[in-house]
């Protein structure tokens, strides 16, 4: 089990980005969460297999229709294995 944190910038709020991430993460069997940040970016905390996290990162770079992703910053994190699902947090 690996873990990564992502910060996604661009037009990523008000376009269904969190719901997009929620659906894709669950379909990839990734656990963790996604949330909007006050600066207009979106933060993602994800735990899963290396292949699943690579797939998620590719999806984050594209985003849903209506979004315009400028940048995705990722960094490895310690897997906590405390998440049992993937959720939207506030």
CATH of the domain at 70: 3.30.70.100
Residue 24 a catalytic site member: no
Our answer to whether residue 36 is catalytic in this structure is yes
The DSSP 8-state label assigned to residue 38 in this structure reads: T
Residue 34 lies in a domain: yes
Q: 64 lies in a domain?
A: yes
**Residue 48 falls inside a structural domain:** yes
In a domain, 45, yes or no: yes
Q: Taking CA 17 as the corner, what is the angle to CA 56 and CA 13, rounded to the nearest 5 degrees?
A: 135
3-state secondary structure of 67: coil
Which residue in the list 11, 18, 35, 82 is annotated as catalytic?
18
Residue 41 lies in a domain: yes
Inform me whether the pLDDT recorded for 79 exceeds 90.
no
Q: Is the pLDDT of residue 80 over 90?
A: no
Is 89 inside any structural domain? no
Is residue 16 assigned to a domain?
Answer: yes
Question: Could you list the residue range(s) of the whole structural domain that residue 22 is in?
Answer: 2-78
**Whole-prediction pTM:** 0.95
Residues 10-69 pLDDT 10s: 999 999 999 999 999 999 999 999 999 999 999 999 999 999 999 999 999 999 999 999
Among the listed residues 11, 35, 36, 75, the single catalytic one is 36
- As for how many domains the chain has, the answer is 1
């Amino acid at each position: 089990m690996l873990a990564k944190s992502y910060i996604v910038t661009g037009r990523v709020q008000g376009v269904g980005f969190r719901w997009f991430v929620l659906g894709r993460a669950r379909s990839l069997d990734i656990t963790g969460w996604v949330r909007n940040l006050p600066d207009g970016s979106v933060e993602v905390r994800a735990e899963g297999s290396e292949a699943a996290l690579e797939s998620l990162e590719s999806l984050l770079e594209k985003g849903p229709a209506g979004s315009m992703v400028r940048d995705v910053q990722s960094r490895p994190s310690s897997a906590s294995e405390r998440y049992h699902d993937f959720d939207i947090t506030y």
